[in-house]
Amino acid sequence: MNILISEVGPRDGLQSIERIMPLEAKKAWIAAEAAAGVREIEVGSFVPASVLPQMADTAELVAFGNTIAGLTVAVLVPNLKGAERALAAGARKLSIPLSVSETHSLKNLRRSHDQVIDEIARVATMVAAAPAGERAHFEVGLSTAFGCTIEGTVPEDKVVDLAERAIAAGAAEVCLSDTTGYADPAKVRRLVRRVKAAIGDDRLTSLHLHNTRGLGLANVLAGLDEGITTLDASLGGLGGCPWAPGASGNIVTEDLVFMLQAMGYQTGIDLEALMKVRAIVSDALPGEPLYGFTPDAGLPLDFESRAA
């Protein structure tokens, strides 16, 4: 089975640290990951620079990413204005966050559930207006789907309801996001099943997982068992959420690729080449912690780095 790894470090990773990575270093990072076989990279987000100065060069990164053959350039957009800027820049995949925890939504986007659903409908209408062959893929990320550091437990019925409303508003699919690291394998299996039953298998193919409590890869396995085929990850485990106190980084791309390829899944990624990309990030952000067991331990003898 082929699994798509969506690298989110240039967006989710960099927005969570104070320092700003130089544009040329970001380009080198994106180019090196694409050369290693990564087929989708979330290069940034179209939010005001006054809010996240780390993302001020996203339009330039979209333009750069579009010069790389075979790379899907993804971005996060908070609203219709952000989506307009993303499409004008040439982004091929848009993701808008819809926090299942309404308190988190008000902190993150300053919008209620109803207001975000209205924005989703407007963005979907704009995306649909493009010619079929040029239409960007529009996804809604259901943030805090497994729990919230502000509200605590998030009812599964609310996750299912918002997934249905997002699809009804025109999104192509939803992604379940463990923004705060509250997920466990049983919860992942249960929630993926429930959401798929409500909106269809083809409307939920991806998970965005964090490793806050060490369950990131275990949760990946639970998702794979339920037919998930796209997984977000961040090089070196960079990333978190400014509005989720205590939330640590995403699952480590290198460890995820190692586990999948060791199990016989196809990723198309050269793991040895991928691990060398860490030097670009560490050189540009000296002293910034990078995580990952595989880069520290190295590959086992006779390990087949590139899945056939």
- Catalytic, 148? Answer no
Q: Which of 136, 163, 231, 241 is catalytic?
A: 241
Longest CA–CA separation in the chain, Å: 54
Q: Which residues contact 133 (CB under 8 A, 6 or more apart)?
A: none
Query: Distance (Å, rounded) from C-alpha 257 to C-alpha 254?
Result: 5
The answer to whether 160 and 193 are in contact (CB under 8 A) is no
Cβ atoms of 6 and 74 within 8 Å: the answer is: yes
Report the 3 state secondary structure along 221-285: HHHHHCCCCEEEEEHHHCCCCCCCCCCCCECEHHHHHHHHHHCCCECCCCHHHHHHCHHHHHHHC
Q: Rounded to whole angstroms, how far apart are CA atoms 278 and 80?
A: 34
Q: How far apart are the first and last CA of the chain?
A: 11
CA–CA separation, 208 and 230 (whole Å): 9
Under a CB-based contact definition with an 8 Å cutoff, are residues 85 and 139 in contact? no
Angstrom CA distances, 121 to 108, 165, 205, 237, 258, stand at 19, 10, 21, 33, 39
Q: What is the DSSP letter of 2?
A: B
Contact call for residues 176 and 192 (beta carbons, < 8 A): yes
d(CA 164, CA 125): 17
Residues involved in catalysis = 241
